[in-house]
Amino acid sequence: MSRPRWMNWALAAGAGALALTLLLPTSNRTMPRPSALQENPQKEHASKQRLKVQDIKATDLLTRVDAKQHLGMMLNKTATMNEAQITRYMKQLQDSHGHIRSIQLMNTNGTSSKRFDRTVKPAGRLEQQKLNHTWNLAKQAVNKRQSFESSSFPMGKEKYFVVGQPSKDGKRAVIALFSQNVLNAVEEHQRKNLRMIPYPREGKFRIESVHPDTLNEITVKTGHDNANASHFYENEIVIRFRQDPSEHDMRIIHSDLKTQSARKLGYTYVFRSETMNYKQLHDYFGSKWNPLYMEPHYMYLTNEAPAEQTDVTIPNDVLFSDYQWNLPAIETNRGWNITKGNKDVIVAVVDTGVDVNHPDLKGKLLEGYNVVKPGSKPMDDVGHGTHVAGIIGAIVNNNEGVAGMSWYNKVLPVKVLDNSGSGTTYAVAEGIIWAADHGAKVINMSLGNYADAQFLHDAIKYAFDRDIVLIAATGNDNTERPGYPAAYPEVFAVSATDPDMNKASYSNYGDYVDVTAPGSSIASTYPDNQYAALSGTSMASPHVAALAGLIRSLNPDLSNTEVMDLMRQSVIDLGDPGHDKYYGYGQIDVYKALRAASGSSAPLQFWPQHVRQQMDNTLKKHIR
């Protein structure tokens, strides 16, 4: 690999070893305060513990939904296989999914049973008895044509659960033991990144802890402007309840509306009535259920798209509807009717690497580069980069796991951080330059530090001068102190919001913030073919990187500065009107941004460039 001359010069001069670390939350204060005094250790530890537990609970739910999906696939795929084919299939499955420790395929009439075990070491007789008892309960359930799911139970240092599922005709069944080692991984990951233990270790990079300069008190405003409601479904309404309705409540609603079902997306419900129009539905829910908000189910038209393609796209990815609140919150589904991306527009993830074998990223990853260990694949040994990559590009509509924001954009993994989640300025700079030289149109950087390193800034300028959109997370210390690379003028800075569209309590803020994006308990891919929920501005940044990739897919004529201006102006305005230091210009709106970027209606501020491009294209057609 050849390097630019200035880069060799910098290496020869001995680039400083400023460490940049992953941007997961390092604080979870509930509100900025005017005093810079630190919270007492007990309160600080308690708030960090709550956030860690929240992510672990969400990850537990993800593992269970994923497990049930695997059992359904096993039953379907083995239905027509002979014994040799089944044995081969199970070996391949367990080789690629190490957390599936035991599988038993059986006929519910007891005529046939085959079991496939991996090493499981109960710590003692009681644990073995617990496993045997749980397995027998699963057998009893599936023999009655009922599904089974156990609570988590420990064996050794790991937690496990058992799932049983009968086939649709009830004649066959599968029982499996799943390890929840991912919970231990998420807990350890968050213990480090929440600074509940010393991390990174002082002796490695000589890093001192960073304390915020100022914390100013604010009153956070929330909400979404719903003024333009001229096009919506007459007999439908979108509702977010203050508390999810019970089954009894839903039966009452279905009876009152004379409907059989409701659609649920994240925290909101879409109801359709055969007898009421929108105004009647609004009056009904307002008077009887006192919801948090009500709004029309808007219709929308994309440029040159037939009317039947204007419905909201709901992917069949197993975890989407119940766990990926983040994508509907930023209108990703509606945006997919305008573009789903383009394989020629590459989004680089400069991070800890990516699990290149993850089935939900298969076909979406390019070869990439490992700065930490040149010549090796950019494999993720931390989990962070895999999670970031999944937010951008997990395969959509494959009946598995999560949905990424882009259906078609390729992801270029560049490993610049080692297995501690840290790396030097040189490594990060080399990774940025390598990505710039290998086709990246967008670069995501969910990493940072509070020191302004000119060496890193030069690498940023190198990529920026090559028309690349650079996106970075602001940091997670709830401080106004600028973090780098996010605070460089060439970089688009992203802070985090929670599901209520508040500034996330851990998210940094400041005048340099461009926009916000969802960052709390985000479900995405995780190493070893698993899924996890993590929180941080690290999770917010790839939402914006994916949006930039979609914009460049739709309108490749826009320059990097035009893409950034467009994203700033196509937002849900939160906080004070216009730009403010807590939300930047607001939370990204994928649909609004893609409408503005569509070639047939160039944004007004880009009109001269758009016209020039149209003229150039016309001239090329007629002049040889």
Catalytic residue numbers? 351, 384, 538
**For residue 476, what is the DSSP state?**
S
Determine phi and psi for 318, rounding to 5 degrees.
-60, -35
Give the three-class secondary structure for 253: helix
How far, rounded to the nearest angstrom, does the alpha carbon of residue 28 sit from its chain's CA centroid?
20
Extract the tokens encoding 30. 């509930």
Contact 239, 291 (CB under 8 A): yes
Determine phi and psi for 172, rounding to 5 degrees.
-125, 160
Q: Which residues are paired to 107 by β-bridges?
A: 172
Alpha helices, DSSP H, located in 144-277: 181-193, 202-205, 247-257
Give the three-class secondary structure for 470: strand
Alpha-carbon span 287 to 266, nearest angstrom: 24
Alpha-carbon span 14 to 425, nearest angstrom: 11
Alpha helices, DSSP H, located in 365-408: 384-393
Alpha-carbon span 552 to 325, nearest angstrom: 25
Residue listed under structure tokens 């086939």: 167
Pick from 442, 488, 490, 489: nearest CA to 464: 490
Determine phi and psi for 122, rounding to 5 degrees.
-60, 145
- Helix axes 247-257 and 278-288, enclosed angle (nearest 10): 140
Alpha-carbon span 315 to 332, nearest angstrom: 11
First to last CA, the chain: 37
Alpha-carbon span 268 to 270, nearest angstrom: 7
Query: 545 vs 243, 320, 494, 549, CA distance in Å?
Result: 33, 20, 10, 6
Q: Which residues are paired to 415 by β-bridges?
A: 351, 370
Alpha-carbon span 19 to 529, nearest angstrom: 29
- Helix axes 537-554 and 590-597, enclosed angle (nearest 10): 30
Determine phi and psi for 469, rounding to 5 degrees.
-85, 120
Alpha-carbon span 399 to 330, nearest angstrom: 22
Pick from 565, 561, 515, 564: nearest CA to 540: 515
